[in-house]
Chains A and B, each alone.
Chain A
Amino acid sequence: MHIAEGFLPPAHAVAWGVASAPFVVHGVRALNREVREHPESTLLLGASGAFTFVLSALKLPSVTGSCSHPTGTGLGAILFRPPIMAVLGTITLLFQALLLAHGGLTTLGANVFSMAIVGPWAGYGMYRLLRRYDVPLMVAVFFGAFVADLSTYCVTSVQLALAFPDPSSGFLGALGKFGSIFAVTQIPLAVSEGLLTVLVMRLLVQSSKGELTRLGVLVTGRQAQNGTEAVAR
């Protein structure tokens, strides 16, 4: 759910922009370092950005019978890591605002915070946590995508509740109002996105082992051995 152009009061729009800035700057520095060390990465990162853009354009069948689209933040974070996703997500949201009239420029900071920062970090955190405890890859991928999707919508609810507190019950009432509207649609959608991400990842494991190993999602036998030795040391 993108917050539409002009939806947030100016002070909120600026505040969310300021809150997002350090994460995006951190991502830009990581991207600069990557491109300096591997100039060919520009093309791969551009391809990743295009993939993220296209992923968010896919129509997802919803349990309620309607259609929605995946946020793609969970899969993106697992494949490309959250700092890079902060930059790719910002680029994608800028394109969506200017090419699809989806989201906005004054609400870019708020949308970046929910979709390109909190979603990827929460999803990636869950994925790494489960992988650390040797949970199977596909289970970790499901919960990574589920948490990324759901946390994005939780943050959007908080952003809207802060901007439009309920006249009677204030921030908490508004949070309940926006949260309950999102919960009806977004919990099934988060489950759907988790399932879709698992299906995509299964196909990728079969068809693109090389790319997944290069991205660090799959580890080769030697990497696994080095990891074990490092832990032993």
Chain B
Amino acid sequence: MLPIDAAAHSSRWRHRHPVDKAVLGLGLTVLAISLPPWPGAALVLVTALALLLGPAGVPARRLWRAYRVPLGFCATGAVTLLVQVGGPEGFVSLADGGPVRAGELMLRTSAASLGVLLFAFTTPMSDLLPRLVRAGVPAPVVDVALVTYRMSFLLLDSVRRIREAQAARLGHTSRAAEWRSLAGLGATAFVRAFDRAARLQAGLAGRGYDGTLRVLVPEARVSVRFTVAGAGLLVALATLTFVLERPLS
């Protein structure tokens, strides 16, 4: 299982309905990209961080391991805003206002990422996917997504073990050997995926499979109190942003 999903399964908010957490987490993400970066995105960032480490109970180390991935992408992307091409100062020169624009972009993306992480760290995929049918996603697509999700872990585990076996047989000692090993890995993943699908099909056919995958979804109800509190927090953040925008700019 991947670390974020594993953390979601043991989260304090695990048994809350996904809608509760979507209103809060994805609402924060929408606010982060819609409000002025200063002070809007900064407020969203602090709030999301406080929620993740406080009520949601996500361990700081796990959060950092997941968060550093989008942070790296944000930083790389923001660097390009520091320079401009052409103009009187030469072919490539420092852009006027580049640091401000890069800083605003960093604030916006880092705050938006934390909003999604709040949702991902508290909502296991197995709770979310079956409920997408009610949200209007066609059942066959949800079924394919469910099989993809469950099979991904098996395949990732197979790939890890094949890689270890290849390493033990000196499969990564030279560039040519590395390429051969990598190609073998890709081809074996394909063969294993199709083999598992065929065996799953045979097993399900023996149990009266009619093309629909029925899975048990943990009981959960949308909490009106939680959702209203989440929406209230979002409104408060938006209001505070507009109140503080002029004095702080």
Whether a CB of chain A sits under 8 angstroms from the CB of B175 is: yes
Whether a CB of chain B sits under 8 angstroms from the CB of A204 is: yes
Q: Please state if A58 and B140 are interface contacts (CB–CB under 8 Å).
A: no
Q: In the bound complex, how far is the Cα of B144 from the Cα of A48, in angstroms?
A: 9
Chain B residues near A4 (CB, 8 Å)? 70, 73-74, 77, 109, 113
Given contacts A46-B197, A47-B196, A51-B155, contact A13 B33 (CB under 8 A): yes
Q: Please state if B147 and A196 are interface contacts (CB–CB under 8 Å).
A: no
Q: Please state if B186 and A208 are interface contacts (CB–CB under 8 Å).
A: no
Give the residues from 190 to 208 in chain A that come closer than 8 angstroms, CB to CB, to chain B: 195-196, 199-200, 202-204, 207-208
Give the residues from 166 to 189 in chain A that come closer than 8 angstroms, CB to CB, to chain B: 166-169, 173-174, 176-178, 181
Q: In the bound complex, how far is the Cα of B191 from the Cα of A204, in angstroms?
A: 8
Would you give the shortest CB distance from B131 to chain A, in whole angstroms? 14
Chain B residues near A57 (CB, 8 Å)? 156, 159
Q: B145 touches which one: A2, A49, A75, A173 (CB < 8 A)?
A: A49
Given contacts A91-B144, A160-B77, A204-B190, contact A44 B86 (CB under 8 A): no
Q: Please state if A164 and B155 are interface contacts (CB–CB under 8 Å).
A: no
Would you give the shortest CB distance from B163 to chain A, in whole angstroms? 9
Whether a CB of chain A sits under 8 angstroms from the CB of B117 is: yes
Interface pick from A28-36, A116-124, A125-133: A28-36
Count B-side interface residues using an 8 Å CB cutoff. 83
0/1 interface trace, chain A 43-79, chain B, CB 8 Å (1 if under): 1111111110111011011000000000000010000
Count A-side interface residues using an 8 Å CB cutoff. 71
Would you give the shortest CB distance from A12 to chain B, in whole angstroms? 10
Chain A residues near B159 (CB, 8 Å)? 54, 57-58
Q: In the bound complex, how far is the Cα of B213 from the Cα of A42, in angstroms?
A: 9
Q: Please state if A42 and B140 are interface contacts (CB–CB under 8 Å).
A: yes
Would you give the shortest CB distance from B81 to chain A, in whole angstroms? 6
Whether a CB of chain A sits under 8 angstroms from the CB of B242 is: no
0/1 interface trace, chain B 57-71, chain A, CB 8 Å (1 if under): 000000000110110
Q: In the bound complex, how far is the Cα of B149 from the Cα of A91, in angstroms?
A: 9
| Cβ-closest chain A residue relative to B186 | A200
Q: Please state if B147 and A46 are interface contacts (CB–CB under 8 Å).
A: yes
Q: Please state if B179 and A199 are interface contacts (CB–CB under 8 Å).
A: yes
Q: In the bound complex, how far is the Cα of B125 from the Cα of A167, in angstroms?
A: 42
Given contacts A40-B201, A199-B183, contact A169 B148 (CB under 8 A): no
Q: Please state if A208 and B194 are interface contacts (CB–CB under 8 Å).
A: yes
Q: Please state if A50 and B155 are interface contacts (CB–CB under 8 Å).
A: yes
Q: With A40-B201, A40-B209, A57-B159 given, name 17 new contacts (CB 8 A).
A: A4-B74, A6-B32, A35-B144, A40-B205, A42-B143, A47-B147, A50-B152, A88-B148, A98-B119, A106-B112, A166-B86, A168-B95, A177-B85, A196-B179, A200-B187, A203-B186, A207-B191
Residues of A bordering B, CB below 8 Å: 2, 4-10, 13, 28, 31-32, 35-36, 39-40, 42-51, 53-55, 57-58, 60-61, 75, 87-88, 91-92, 94-95, 97-102, 104-106, 160, 164, 166-169, 173-174, 176-178, 181, 195-196, 199-200, 202-204, 207-208, 211
Residues of B bordering A, CB below 8 Å: 2, 4-5, 26, 29-30, 32-34, 66-67, 69-70, 73-74, 77, 80-81, 83-87, 95-98, 101, 105, 108-113, 116-117, 119-120, 125, 138, 140-141, 143-152, 154-156, 159, 175, 178-180, 182-187, 189-191, 193-194, 196-198, 200-201, 204-205, 209-211, 213
